[in-house]
Structure 1
Amino acid sequence: MKTRITDLLGCQYPVIQGGMAWVAEYHLAAAVSEAGGIGLIGAASAPPEVVREQIRKTKELTDKPFGVNVMLLNPNAPEVAKVVVEEGVKIVTTGAGNPGKFMEMWKQAGVTVIPVVASVAMAKMMERAGADAVVAEGMESGGHIGSQTTMTLVPQVVDAVTIPVIAAGGIADGRGMAAAMMLGAEGVQMGTRFVVAKESIVHQNYKERIIKAKDIDSEVTGMSTGHPIRVLRNQMTREYLKLEKEGASFEELEQLTLGSLRKAVIEGDAVHGSLMAGQSAGLVKKEQTCQEIIEEVVTGARALLAGRK
């Protein structure tokens, strides 16, 4: 399955693993890259030296291309941006902001820059800033979300820019990948499906909640704060939404979720932890290796795009 994305990134399949905080670490990133996709290390708010260590450990497990997701709101972002260059990483995805101030440094180092965007305006701005491609992410995705659906956002972004577009949000199988390609995308990014990969370090309790999730089991918290986040519903989300309804302050709401993602990923707290997952959770039925996931998705998409059922 060759597209401008496979040419650009030097991978076998145009499948990228989402740069999820706490989840996207070196075991998962290396396994996805080894399986022919592009694995990402989610830098999130990690200290620069931790990111450096993650990059080095990924290199020990694979010689295939992989990248780092740089969260631009992170106060450490300038240092992490430098670590990427110092360690010779050639692919960067960015979230929560404009990577413009790092673009020259990355370009000089031969880094391919792929911002995640949630609107046509942001996609155009990123193309002007020198981005090599964009990830158009719909609100079906897990974690921080925008307000457009994948089905409407992707074709509009494809029409608005000349650089390749990667679709994200609600994609978990071959049907989703085929649909994304029909909308004009040249690759897909998946997060939720990889959370339950055998190589993922996510606690089994978290994985089980995704595997057992139904179509209506995700919830969006933080609409009142301007930072909406999609998670699976549990006691924490019920408390959060109740506080939101009562007009609680941003500080109160922040207090409730402090450290909640780590609780879910590392400690397996499915009651008070933040179980970030997209609406595609209802499509995820079992734990598989990254190799099995990618081959199943690509084979399914290929058959549909060739006109077979």
Structure 2
Amino acid sequence: MLSNDWAIEARGLVKRFDGFTAVDGVDLSVPQGAIYGILGPNGAGKTTTLRMLQGIIDPDSGVRRILGADRPHDVAHRIGYLPEERGLYPTMKTYEAIAFMGALRGLPLAEGRRRGKAMMEEHGLSYAIDRQIRQLSKGMAQQVQILGTLVHNPDLVIFDEPFSGLDALNQGKLEKMIRALAAGGTTVIFSTHVIAHAERLCDEVAIIAGGRVPFAGPVDVARDRIPAQVRLETRHADGPWRAALPPDARHEGALWSFPLPDTGVEPLLRALIEGEAGILSLSIERAGLHDAFVAIAGEAAARALGQPTQEEAA
């Protein structure tokens, strides 16, 4: 039974192509107003999942509800979608391309032209308003398409690999734009194979690998799958304090690293002080989303993502 309490909810989505199962029982619940990331390598099923959610393709089995509608096409005018495969008419002027994308979602062309020009000026692209798409760089054309995705003021924005093709400066601008959308009440869901973007932006994530979702939920919950790590530097190399360290503690000279004991840091500190370790430094580091991805999806998925595994990063 699906609920109207979510911007997007899906249960048991399955999609096969010529006998190959691209998506295998995906469950998702995206809160209203959240920034939600779908993380996974190329070929994991991210794009197929996003297309099924919008009704661009239908699932072979499973159900989904988007903005309270069981038929995604009924709310298409409330959705902005940036597909992974970018596509603009090369001879169109930039503001006309933005207006055309808005018209596909029900926005009158005249209003789309007005908004398109205003948006380009707001985002520092006024010099390119009268240029044709073919005169733009790849990154600039992508910025135009992003504006076209937003011109009709959608309640839900779906970006498929939106940072691909943007330089570092424009990636930062897009991150700022996504935060502003969420602050205004818009729900944003985006797919990415770059974990850093999701870690900086997302309230919740779904990790997808091999067409399945082994984890979906808050970023902090994913990170808590791995115990926090203690980094300890001592003046003395040995002594009674060593009994306070777990058996799997690793060290290089006077620098030790090990998982934070279940009893917490206070008993550890007490044992180190009483055992005269001579503490030079002690820090507690929570696991990052990258480490959580490796632990949840496996090292093969991390390699496919292009991210180092824990052993490779060490």
Fold match, TM over 0.5? no
When normalised by structure 1's length, the TM-score is 0.30
More helix by share: 1
When normalised by structure 2's length, the TM-score is 0.30
Larger-gyration structure (1/2): 2
